[in-house]
Chains A and B, each alone.
Chain A
Amino acid sequence: MERVKQPLIHITKRDPMPLWKGLCIRFGAVLIALVISAIFISASAPRQRGFFAFFGSLFSGAFGTERRFWLLLQNTALLLCVALALVVAFKMKFWNLGGNGQVLIGCLACAMCMYYLGGEWSDPLVCLLMFVASVAAGAVWAVIPAVFKAFFNTNESLFTLMMNYIAMYLVAYFIAVWYPNGTGAMPPLGDANLPTFGSGQAGRTLPIVLAAVIVTAFVFCYLRFSKHGFEVSLVGESRNTARYAGINVKKVIIRTLALSGATCGLVGFLLVGSVNHMVSTSMDGNMGFTGIMVAWMGKFDPLIMAGVALFINFLTRGMAQVNTDFGYTNSALSDIVVGLIYFFFIGCEFFIVYKVHFNFRKTTARSAPEFSTDDRPQGAGEQHIHEEESSPPVREQIAAAVTQDVLQDGPIGPDGSAPSEMAQQAVSTRKRKGKKEEN
Chain B
Amino acid sequence: MKKLLALGLAAAVSVAGLGALAGCGEGDGEVSFDPVPVEELKVGFIALHDSNSTYDKNFLDAIEQACKNKGISEENLLIRTGIEEDNTCLETALDLADQGCDVIFADSFGHESFMMEAAEEYPSVRFCHATGTHAHTSDLANFHNAFASIYEGRYLAGVAAGMKLVEMYNSYKAGGDALDDVNFDTEGNIKIGYVGAYPYAEVVSGYTSFFLGAQSVVEEELAADEISISMEVSYTSSWYDLQAENDTARSLISRGAALISQHADSMGAPNACEAAGVPNVSYNGSTAASCPDTYIVSSRINWVPYFEYMIDCVINGEQIDKDWTGTLDTGSVVLTEFGTAAAEGTAEKVAEVQAQLEAGTLHVFDCSKFTVDGEHLTTYTADVDDDGTYTGDTEAIENGIFYESRHRSAPYFDVRIDGITELASDS
Q: Is B363 an interface residue (CB 8 A)?
A: no
B-facing residues in A156-199 (Cβ within 8 Å) = 172, 176, 180-188
Establish whether residues A183 and B78, one from each chain, have CB atoms under 8 Å apart when the complex forms: no
> What are the residues of chain B within 8 A of A307 when measuring CB–CB?
none
- The answer for the CA separation of A182 and B239 in the assembled complex, in Å, is 12
> What are the residues of chain B within 8 A of A390 when measuring CB–CB?
none
The count of residues in chain B whose C-beta lies closer than 8 Å to any C-beta of chain A is 38
Take A182-B198, A184-B238, A187-B112 as given contacts and tell me if A330 and B50 are in contact as well, using a CB distance cutoff of 8 Å: yes
Closest to B203 in A: A183
Establish whether residues A71 and B91, one from each chain, have CB atoms under 8 Å apart when the complex forms: yes
- The answer for the CA separation of A181 and B50 in the assembled complex, in Å, is 25
- The answer for the CA separation of A282 and B52 in the assembled complex, in Å, is 18
Main secondary structure of the interface of B (DSSP, over half): loop
Establish whether residues A329 and B51, one from each chain, have CB atoms under 8 Å apart when the complex forms: yes
Establish whether residues A275 and B80, one from each chain, have CB atoms under 8 Å apart when the complex forms: no
A6, chain B: closest CB distance, angstroms: 53
Establish whether residues A181 and B201, one from each chain, have CB atoms under 8 Å apart when the complex forms: yes
> What are the residues of chain A within 8 A of B198 when measuring CB–CB?
182-184
> What are the residues of chain A within 8 A of B237 when measuring CB–CB?
172, 176, 184
Q: CB-defined interface of A218-251 with B at 8 Å, one 1/0 digit per residue?
A: 0000000000000000000000000000000000
Closest to A280 in B: B86
Q: Is B13 an interface residue (CB 8 A)?
A: no
Establish whether residues B85 and A68, one from each chain, have CB atoms under 8 Å apart when the complex forms: no
Establish whether residues B114 and A188, one from each chain, have CB atoms under 8 Å apart when the complex forms: yes
A175, chain B: closest CB distance, angstroms: 10
Q: Is A322 an interface residue (CB 8 A)?
A: no
> What are the residues of chain A within 8 A of B364 when measuring CB–CB?
none
Q: Is A315 an interface residue (CB 8 A)?
A: no
Q: CB-defined interface of B83-115 with A at 8 Å, one 1/0 digit per residue?
A: 011110001001100110000000011101110
> What are the residues of chain A within 8 A of B384 when measuring CB–CB?
none
Q: Is A283 an interface residue (CB 8 A)?
A: yes
> What are the residues of chain A within 8 A of B99 when measuring CB–CB?
65
Take A183-B197, A188-B113, A283-B86 as given contacts and tell me if A330 and B94 are in contact as well, using a CB distance cutoff of 8 Å: no
Establish whether residues A183 and B239, one from each chain, have CB atoms under 8 Å apart when the complex forms: yes
Q: Is A355 an interface residue (CB 8 A)?
A: no
Q: Is B178 an interface residue (CB 8 A)?
A: no
> What are the residues of chain B within 8 A of A330 when measuring CB–CB?
50-52, 81
Q: Is A305 an interface residue (CB 8 A)?
A: no
Q: Is A324 an interface residue (CB 8 A)?
A: yes
Closest to A46 in B: B74
Establish whether residues B52 and A185, one from each chain, have CB atoms under 8 Å apart when the complex forms: no
Q: Is A327 an interface residue (CB 8 A)?
A: yes
B278, chain A: closest CB distance, angstroms: 27
Q: Is B392 an interface residue (CB 8 A)?
A: no
Take A324-B79, A329-B81 as given contacts and tell me if A183 and B113 are in contact as well, using a CB distance cutoff of 8 Å: no
- The answer for the CA separation of A248 and B202 in the assembled complex, in Å, is 58
Establish whether residues B200 and A67, one from each chain, have CB atoms under 8 Å apart when the complex forms: no
- The answer for the CA separation of A175 and B100 in the assembled complex, in Å, is 35
Establish whether residues A320 and B80, one from each chain, have CB atoms under 8 Å apart when the complex forms: yes
Take A71-B91, A188-B114, A329-B60 as given contacts and tell me if A181 and B84 are in contact as well, using a CB distance cutoff of 8 Å: no
Q: Is A366 an interface residue (CB 8 A)?
A: no
- The answer for the CA separation of A330 and B109 in the assembled complex, in Å, is 21
- The answer for the CA separation of A36 and B91 in the assembled complex, in Å, is 30
> What are the residues of chain A within 8 A of B79 when measuring CB–CB?
324, 329
Q: Is B199 an interface residue (CB 8 A)?
A: yes
Take A67-B94, A282-B84 as given contacts and tell me if A327 and B74 are in contact as well, using a CB distance cutoff of 8 Å: yes
Closest to B92 in A: A320
A66, chain B: closest CB distance, angstroms: 8
A-facing residues in B109-133 (Cβ within 8 Å) = 109-110, 112-114, 117
Cβ-neighbour of A47 out of B74, B113, B383 (below 8 A): B74
Q: Is A397 an interface residue (CB 8 A)?
A: no
Q: Is B82 an interface residue (CB 8 A)?
A: yes
Which residues of A are interface residues toward B (Cβ below 8 A)?
A: 47, 65, 67-68, 71, 172, 176, 180-188, 201, 275-278, 280, 282-283, 320, 323-324, 327, 329-331
Q: A324-B79, A331-B49, A331-B82 are in contact. List 15 more A-B contacts (CB 8 A).
A: A67-B91, A67-B94, A67-B95, A181-B201, A181-B390, A182-B109, A183-B200, A188-B87, A188-B114, A188-B117, A280-B86, A280-B110, A282-B84, A320-B80, A329-B60
Nearest 5 CB-CB pairings of A with B: A185-B110, A331-B82, A329-B51, A276-B87, A185-B85
10 pairs, CB–CB < 8 Å, chain A vs chain B: A67-B94, A71-B91, A181-B199, A181-B200, A183-B197, A184-B198, A186-B110, A276-B86, A327-B74, A330-B50
